[in-house]
Structure 1
Amino acid sequence: MTKIRIAIQKSGRLNNDSLSMLKDCGISIDNGKDQLKADARNFPMEVFYLRNGDIPQYLRDGVVDIAIIGENVLIEKGEDIGIVEKLGFSKCRVSLAVPKAMEYNSVNDFEGKRIATSYPNTVKNYLKERGVNADLHIINGSVEIAPNIGLADAICDIVSSGSTLFKNNLKEVEVMLKSEAVLAESTNISAARKEILEKLRFRIKSVLQARQSKYVLLNAPNEKLKNIIQILPGMRSPTVLPLAEEGWSSVHTVIKKDKFWEVIDELKRAGAEGILVCPIEKMVL
């Protein structure tokens, strides 16, 4: 039986979020402690647990067919590898940071400076586009300590909350790129495995749509119904059902999470009452 081979990060937040995504897609993984390879019980899939930085080469060599990986890693090590789907989790940015006491005006301040980083290609390309020359020190590990021990004048690293920079007396000054987890595809994937990938993509899209949406039910007086319906975005159009109380209707619709509070405020002003908000587990379009 043909199985699709997927790589995910061996440990860390991306590992947890990736397994959560597969679980939400209805895929159960037989995963024992410290296993480097596991099978799915109810989907034709093998899971490989790999170091994040090694995944692009495994994709390139066709050892795995697809991977859930940080977009920043592909930009650094796998620009030739295609992105199938952006997954919306493990969001971060790759930034340049300097000591808090350093006065910073523009990217030109990095001219001739020593920058410690695990992302040399990303930094080199970013500075080259801006005509800046710097001395890069490649460090595989925690780079935040480099300015404090005199190894570098600045660093380039992943930033999520910024708390690690703050603790190391650094400040973020240039955001070079924004990143999130993506589903990447090997150029060597077979036609049979490509079919399995499309089934997986369908499930992932349903999960992503659900995560980005809320199901809303509300009561509305019939004389205000027209105005309330005009406010609602809905997937196609809202569902309207008569209530037992004469002159009132129940309205059901879906609202995108990023516009949720603005729409709710408008609905209240338009006369909506008894607004009930529910999470959506899956949304198939």
Structure 2
Amino acid sequence: MNTLKIAVQKSGRLKDDSMKLLKDIGISIDNGKDQLKATATNFPVEVFYLRNGDIPQYLKDGVVDAAIIGNNVLVEKGNSIEYISKLGFSKCRVSIAVPKNMEYKSLEDLNGKQIATSYPNTVNAFLEKNNIRASIHVINGSVEIAPNIGLAEAIVDIVSTGGTLFKNNLVEKEVILKSEAVLAVSPTISAPQKAILDKIKFRIEAVLKGQSSKYVLLNAPNDSLEAIINLLPGMKSPTVLPLAESGWSSVHSVIDKNQFWDIIDDLKALGAQGILICPIEKMVL
């Protein structure tokens, strides 16, 4: 039986979010403590728990067929690796930061400076693109400490909230790359494994679409029905059912959660009542 081998981060929040996603798409995995490999009980998948920085090479070599990994790691170590879906979690950015007391007006201020980073390939490509001549000091670990101990004048590192930069008296100045978790695929993946991966991608898209949408039910006065329907396109068009009370209809639809409050305000202005908003677990288009 063909089995898809998929890699996830060995530990940390990315691993936790990855395993939750697999659970949400109906793949049941019993991974005991410190296991490096686990097999799904209800789907042809084996999960490999690997060091994040090693995953791109495993993908290149075909040791694993796919991986859930931060796009920033692919850019740094897997420039021949493609991803087929963005996953919406583990969002961060790879940014340039400098000490608060450093005079910084533009990228040109980095000319002749030392930059500490764990992302030398990403940084070198960015500097070359912008015609900046700076030296790279590669550090694996706590990059933020480099300016405080005189090792570098600037750093490039992952930034999520900026809290770590603040604690080390650093200020974010330039965003090199915006990143999130992605579903990456090995260039050597076979047709049977690709078919399994396509099923996983389909399920993931259904979960992500559900997470980004809300189900709305409301009572609408018939004289405003057309205007209300125009606000609620749904997947094809809203469902409209007559209410027992004359002159009123029940409208069911789907809205983007990012437009939620604006749409609700408009619905109320058009006379909609009894508005119910429900989460959507999954949505298959």
Pairwise TM-score range, normalised by the shorter structure: over 0.9
Cross-structure match for 2:74: 74
TM-score by length of 2: 0.98
Q: Does 1:11 align with 2:11?
A: yes
- In the alignment, the residues of structure 2 paired with residue 129 and residue 194 of structure 1 have an alpha-carbon distance, to the nearest angstrom, of 35
Unaligned runs of 5+ in 1: none
CA offsets 1:184-205 (integer angstroms, 9 cap, x no match): 0001111111111111111111
Give the SS at the match of 1:204. Answer: helix
Match of 1:238 in 2: 238
Deviation at 1:69, TM superposition (A): 0.4
Give me the whole-angstrom Cα distance separating, in 2, the residues matched to 1:12 and 1:56.
Answer: 18
Structure 1: distance between partners of 2:64 and 2:19: 17
What pairs up with 1:23-42 in 2 under 5 angstroms?
23-42=23-42
Match of 1:252 in 2: 252
Work out the CA distance in 1 between the residues paired with 2:83 and 2:184.
4
Q: Which residue of 2 aligns with 1:267?
A: 267
Question: Letter of the aligned partner of 2:209 in structure 1?
Answer: Q
Structure 1: distance between partners of 2:119 and 2:258: 32
The one-letter amino acid paired with 1:234 is: G
- SS of equivalent to 1:161: coil
Instruction: Report the CA distance between 1:208 and its aligned residue.
Output: 1.0
Give the superposition deviation at 1:248.
1.2
RMSD over aligned Cα atoms = 0.8
Correspondences of 1:131-170 after superposition (within 5 Å): 131-170=131-170
Matching residue of 2:84:
84
- Cα distance, 1:142 vs. partner? 1.3
For the residues of structure 2 that align with 1:151 and 1:160, how far apart are their CA atoms? 23
Does the residue aligned with 2:57 lie in a helix, a strand or coil?
Answer: helix
> What pairs with 1:174-213 in structure 2 (closer than 5 Å)?
174-213=174-213
Question: What is the alpha-carbon distance in structure 1 between the residues aligned to residue 187 and residue 254 of structure 2?
Answer: 37
- Shift of residue 2, structure 1, vs aligned partner: 1.2
SS in 2 for 1:230: helix
Taking the aligned partners of 1:169 and 1:135, their CA distance within structure 2 comes to 22
Quick check: 1:282 aligned with 2:275? no
CA positional deviation for 1:55: 0.2
> How many angstroms does 1:244 deviate by?
2.0
Q: What does residue 64 of structure 1 align with?
A: 64
| One-letter amino acid of the structure 2 residue matched with residue 177 of structure 1 | L
Deviation per CA, 1:100-159: give whole Å up to 9, x if none: 111210011110111110000111110111110111111111101111111111100000
Unaligned runs of 5+ in 2: none
Secondary structure of 1:144's counterpart equals helix
Question: Alignment identity in percent?
Answer: 70
| TM-score with structure 1 setting the length | 0.98
**What SS does structure 2 have at the residue aligned with 1:235?**
coil
Distance 1:70 1:124 in 2: 19
Q: Please state whether the residue corresponding to 1:233 is helix, strand or coil.
A: coil
- Measured in 2, the distance between the counterparts of 1:140 and 1:261 equals 44
- Give, as a single letter, the amino acid of the residue that structure 2 aligns with 1:246: S
- Residue 221 of structure 1 corresponds to 221
Supply the distance in 1 between the matched residues of 2:279 and 2:22 (Cα, whole angstroms): 19
**C-alpha distance in structure 2 between counterparts of 1:141 and 1:270, whole Å:** 56
